[in-house]
Structures are given as structure tokens and as C-alpha cells.
Structure 1
Amino acid sequence: METTTIKITGMSCGGCTASVTKVLSETPGVAKVEVQLSPGQATVTYDPAKVTREALCAAIGDAGFEAE
């Protein structure tokens, strides 16, 4: 397992953090997700054999937010 922190822009409320948490939690290979509205980031523990950091960022993008 690896843990990464992804910066997210565009979140403005608790509903936003819930959306990001949901989309990341449903991604195969993700074990743990913690999303913080301030400072605008997600800390994700995942299996690099099943999902890449780039795929996690893409999932956040698909939810309507920008990730880097």
C-alpha cells in the first residue's frame, strides 16, 4: 500500500468533500480516504498494483474538481 496527498481545487462545502470521498472510495484499489476542505486536499491509501495516482486524480476530475 502507498499513501499520497492530492491537492484539490474547487471544493467549497461539506457536500464537495463528500463527493470526492465517495468517488475515491469507490475506486478499485483504494483502501482509505481522508478529504479535507481546508487546505483542499485528499490523503489516499491505495494499492499501486490496482490503481495509479493519475487515475485517482482523473476520478476527482470526473467528479467536477481539479486535482494535482
Structure 2
Amino acid sequence: MNRTITLTITGMTCDGCVRSLTRALEASPIIKKATVTLEPPQAQITPANAALTEQDCKTLVQKAGFDVA
């Protein structure tokens, strides 16, 4: 069973932000799948391996230009 890390995202204002963050997360080899929504503003991240931490995910979100609440 795949675990999912859910983060509340701040700084997203439109569907373009959702697409941008989704692309940035899924471009990372440590992410298997990312589902980003505007309402509620969150990212559900399925790691590609068990070693991925919540902090790793937060760092990727911040590198994409968004913040985590």
C-alpha cells in the first residue's frame, strides 16, 4: 500500500498555480504522484520510495515558489 503525504499549501491563487506545482512535484524522481487542489489548497503526494519525508516534500513545494502552512 502506498502512503500519502498531505500538505496544506499557501500562495496558490488560480488553476495555473495548481498546474505549476503539480508539474514541479511530479518532475522530481522522488515523487511517484502528486495531486494538487485549489479548494482545499493542498497537495497529496505519493512518494516513490519509503525514505521520502514530509520535510523533503515541503522543500520541493518551496522550491516551486509556494509555502506550506
Indicate the residue corresponding to 2:35 in structure 1: 34
SS of residue matched to 2:46: strand
* Structure 1 consecutive aligned stretches of length 4 or more whose deviation exceeds 3 Å: none
- What letter is aligned with 2:27? E
What is the CA distance between 1:29 and its match in structure 2? 2.1
User: Partner amino acid for 2:50?
Assistant: P
Unaligned runs of 5+ in 1: none
Can you list the C-alpha shifts for 1:30-58, whole angstroms capped at 9, x where unaligned? 11111000110000110232x32211111
Partner of 1:25: 26
How big is the shift at 1:23?
A: 1.1
Q: Sequence identity, in percent? A: 37
Match of 1:59 in 2: 60
CA RMSD of aligned residues (A): 1.3
Normalised by the length of structure 2, the TM-score is 0.85
Q: Which amino acid aligns with 1:2?
A: R
Q: Equivalents in 2 of 1:34, 1:53: separation in Å? A: 15
Counterparts of 1:65 and 1:34 in 2: how far apart (Å)? 15
Secondary structure of the residue that 1:2 maps to in structure 2?
coil
